[in-house]
Amino acid sequence: MTRSDKQLSLLRSVRAKLLLVLAVLSLPLLVVSLIQFNNYRRDLDEQASTTARIETTAAAGSLLAWLEDHPSYVARADAIPTDEAQALYARLHRDTASDAGTAIAVFDAQGRALKNPSSPSSIPATLNFTAQAGRGKWNDGVTRMTAMKRVEQFGWSVVVGVSVSENTTAGRSIFILTATWALVLLASILLGVWAVGRFTKPLRKLAATASTLGEGQLRERVAVETDDEVGALAQNFNVMASQLETKFGELQTQGAFIEEVLDGLPLGLAVLDERLIVRRANSTFAGYVNREAAALSGRGLYEAAAGMAVLSDIVEDVRRSRKPFVTYGLPLNLVARDREENADNAAGSFWDVTIWPTSARSAGRGDLILVLSEVSKRVRAEKLATSAFAAERTRAAELEGIINQMNEGVIIINRQGRYRVNPAGAKIIGRTPEEFRDGTEALIADMAFRDLHGRTLAAEEHPLSRALERREHLSGEQLEIIQADGEKRVVAMSATPLTGENGSPEGAVAVFRDITQEVKQHGELVSAYDRLREHDRLKSAFVSNIS
């Protein structure tokens, strides 16, 4: 390998890329940090300027109050005694709440400085200041953030200088922080270079082992050379490989179990590849086609089960559309027989057929799943049940026709409280079918019965209530009913409860007929008989009187 090839390999290596990423990430951090440090220094200067303006305003107010208290010194500043000057400066420092680094100077109306006995040199070198604070040098050689305010009433001025940012603790800390950050950044870069070099070799080994593992060699493991994160990664990789080996073994065991379950299923199951070659068939399917399960593998579908040829179009449609096909009770002969045998068995062979496309199409895993279930007995049972149900419906229709043709009224009530009234019953009650309300209670209320003495029966005394609730059997009870048009009729009613096979209440049935005419005729006969007896009595009395 030439030198240029070695350099090219170095530039393309993971180490070079990681170092480049480290440099790219560090440069913006450095720039942002320097900008932040500069902004922090400006904030400190702004803070000092604000402090100077505030303290200057406070000092001007304090000076105004002192001048108002000592008006004799306004025009003669040189006449102020030393103790008064010292008291004035002490008062100014106290009212401005200034620290030790703050300097205050007072000037009279002529611009002469009033010396501070405690600090004679604390005077600005120049008086080119305004209320807006700015940096200025004082006679003691210290540069301060200086602001001046004039007391307009007396013409005096006060100048306040506070420490600039670099002379404060916060200002000095910014330089310490910058130096510390630079050292940390340098150490981080060196540490990154060392870490990249340290990580490269174990990662290459780990990648090679992972490639070997991906080829199916699940027993491959990577050597754990360190006890740090890279070593933990290698150890976790080995744990993962062990788990994969274990899971693969479990999967093989589960596959064997599934094979056993499939062989024990009562359903015929066959797995077909994309060419409709049988890849796997269970014993039930083999029994359906009268072959051994091992003999079916590798055979075509229509060779293994010749009767499936009638579904060839459906099989092709499932292969093409990838939509499953399911049918029930399909008459089908899986094994080819002669015509006479086919004719004898055609009516007795019925199957549930399911053709299901797999999600992954491959010759090894299969393309279609064919599931067969013989349901001949079930189909015959369904046909018998259908015939019985049809016969039952016929008998029910005949019974309903007979009930509808009866002259007597019939009421049938089920256990849910729903009822049916035949046309004769509706006529006796005096209502049309549309006028009946839902529910047994509404029916009892609409059939307001009276006894033969004219007393209205309570709901619990109603024949239907007695048959439903008390389970009484009634026969031929004569009652009066008032029809909707007000006509009074007399009916003879019989009722009996209905009971299920287990003795549970199932409802009630009532039969009633209109005996109004019979009662009327009976009354006429009784009246005629009474008149006849009265005639006999009168005749006997007349004969007795004559004799």
Query: What's 117's domain CATH number?
Result: 3.30.450.20
How far apart CA 182 and CA 29 sit, in angstroms, is 11
- In DSSP terms, which residues pair with 369 in a beta bridge? 271, 356
How far apart CA 373 and CA 352 sit, in angstroms, is 5
Range of lowest pLDDT (16-20, 180-184, 268-272, 422-426): 16-20
Q: Are residues 336 and 455 in the same domain?
A: no
Q: Are residues 336 and 450 in the same domain?
A: no
Q: Are residues 352 and 432 in the same domain?
A: no
Residue 490 lies in a domain: yes
DSSP 89-115: HHHHHHHHT--TT-EEEEE-TTS-EE-
Quickly tell me which residue has 């009234």 as its tokens: 421
Q: Are residues 361 and 289 in the same domain?
A: yes
Residue 347: the pLDDT is: 52
pLDDT tens digits, residue range 286-323?
A: 888 888 888 888 888 888 888 888 888 888 898 888 88
Residue 443 lies in a domain: yes
Identify the domain boundary among 167, 197, 224. Answer: 167
pLDDT tens digits, residue range 350-405?
A: 888 998 888 755 544 558 888 888 888 888 888 888 888 888 888 878 887 887 77
Integer CA distances (angstroms), 173 to 22, 161, 482, in order:
28, 21, 112
**Three-state secondary structure along 459-471?**
HHHCHHHHHHHCC
Quickly tell me which residue has 């509706």 as its tokens: 426
Q: Are residues 345 and 447 in the same domain?
A: no
Tally of CA atoms within 13 A in the half-sphere of 318 that contains its CB: 25
Residue 178: the pLDDT is: 74
Identify the domain boundary among 114, 147, 167. Answer: 167
Percent of the chain, pLDDT > 90? 1
Q: Are residues 433 and 508 in the same domain?
A: yes
Structure tokens at 22: 């480290």
Average pLDDT for 163-180: 70
Range of lowest pLDDT (43-52, 79-88, 104-113, 492-501): 43-52
Contact 91, 66 (CB under 8 A): yes
User: Strand 366-374 relative to strand 350-362: parallel, antiparallel, unpaired?
Assistant: antiparallel
Residue 248 lies in a domain: no
Residue 201 lies in a domain: no
Integer CA distances (angstroms), 168 to 125, 172, 179, in order:
22, 6, 17
Average pLDDT for 313-334: 87
Range of lowest pLDDT (6-15, 82-91, 299-308, 506-515): 6-15
Tell which residue, 337, 335, 349, has the closest CA to residue 286. Answer: 335
Q: Please state the domain count of the chain.
A: 3
Mean of the per-residue pLDDT values of the chain: 78
How far apart CA 424 and CA 408 sit, in angstroms, is 6
Q: Are residues 329 and 431 in the same domain?
A: no
Residue 280: the pLDDT is: 84
Average pLDDT for 242-265: 79
Contact 324, 354 (CB under 8 A): yes
The pLDDT of residue 73 is above 70: yes
Residues 6+ apart with CB under 8 A from 479: 449, 450, 451, 452, 457, 463, 490, 491, 493
Residue 7: the pLDDT is: 41
Residue 258 lies in a domain: no
Burial class (CB in 10 A: 0-12, 13-18, 19+), 440: buried
Residue 175 lies in a domain: no
Task: Provide the edge-to-edge strand list for the sheet that holds 268-272.
Answer: 278-281, 268-272, 366-374, 350-362, 325-331
Residue 484 lies in a domain: yes
Contact 396, 384 (CB under 8 A): no
Q: Are residues 427 and 488 in the same domain?
A: yes
SS3 492: strand
Residue 79: domain span: 14-167
Residue 385 lies in a domain: no
